[in-house]
Amino acid sequence: MHCEVCGREIYGQPYYRVIEGGKMTVCGQCAQFSKQEWDPRKPQARPIRRRPSGAPQIRRRSDIEVAESIEVVEKYGILIRKTRQKKGLTIEDFAKKLNEKESVIKKMEKEQLNPNMTLIRKIQNELGINLLDTSPATKGPVLSRPMGPRTLGDMIKIKTPKDEEEEE
């Protein structure tokens, strides 16, 4: 066994020390760098959450699912333009307040530009309107299915011979 600090061979009993936040196995000389010890045989206990029996298992939505469920409201360009005009702001003034180019504001009001979240937040704060809506398909709890990372199969619908017959 080798010391994780100096790389020398450890003869005898190794020392288990926490050095600068890292748990290391070190030799007697390097053990002086820290007095804080850790036990390699003692695993960290993870809290176990129990649910009532018979209750459906509900899992939390991942960040990706949350982001996919948020959409910009319909006719956001008209909403932005009308609210901006009610506040008496010209496109130039509004662009300066948001620290954006006038062309960006014009394209948004014509709905030729899909705004990013940063721009949406700026507009919402300046005009006091809500431009985001959750899609109706994702409202409510999500019942559990096999856990794990998302795969391509989760994203697409695979056609079966039965589906092809129905299309004809």
Looking at the chain, how many residues does it have?
168
Q: How far is CA 143 from the centre of its chain?
A: 20
- What whole-number percentage of the chain has pLDDT above 70? 64
Delimit the domains of the chain by residue range.
1-39, 67-134
Q: Max Cα separation, the chain?
A: 80
Query: What's the mean pLDDT when you consider all of the chain?
Result: 79
Q: What pLDDT, on the 0 to 100 scale, is given for residue 103?
A: 93
Summarize pLDDT for 90-146 with one digit per residue, the tens: 999 999 999 999 999 999 899 888 888 888 889 989 999 888 877 655 455 544 455
Of the candidate CATH numbers 2.60.40.2310, 1.10.260.40, 3.30.1330.20, 1.10.10.10, the domain formed by 67-134 belongs to 1.10.260.40
**Dihedral sign, CA of 71, 75, 81, 86?**
negative
Q: Are 75 and 104 in contact (CB under 8 A)?
A: no
5 has a pLDDT exceeding 60: yes
* Residue 42 banded pLDDT, cuts 50, 70, 90: confident
Please name the helix (run of DSSP H) or strand (run of DSSP E) that holds residue 90, with its range, or none. Answer: none
Structure tokens at 22: 């890292």
pTM (two decimals)? 0.44
Structure tokens at 39: 């036990």
d(CA 38, CA 158): 51
d(CA 56, CA 53): 8
- Count other Cβ atoms within 10 Å, centred on residue 38: 13
What DSSP assignment string belongs to 57-86? PB-PPPHHHHHHHEEEPTTHHHHHHHHHHH
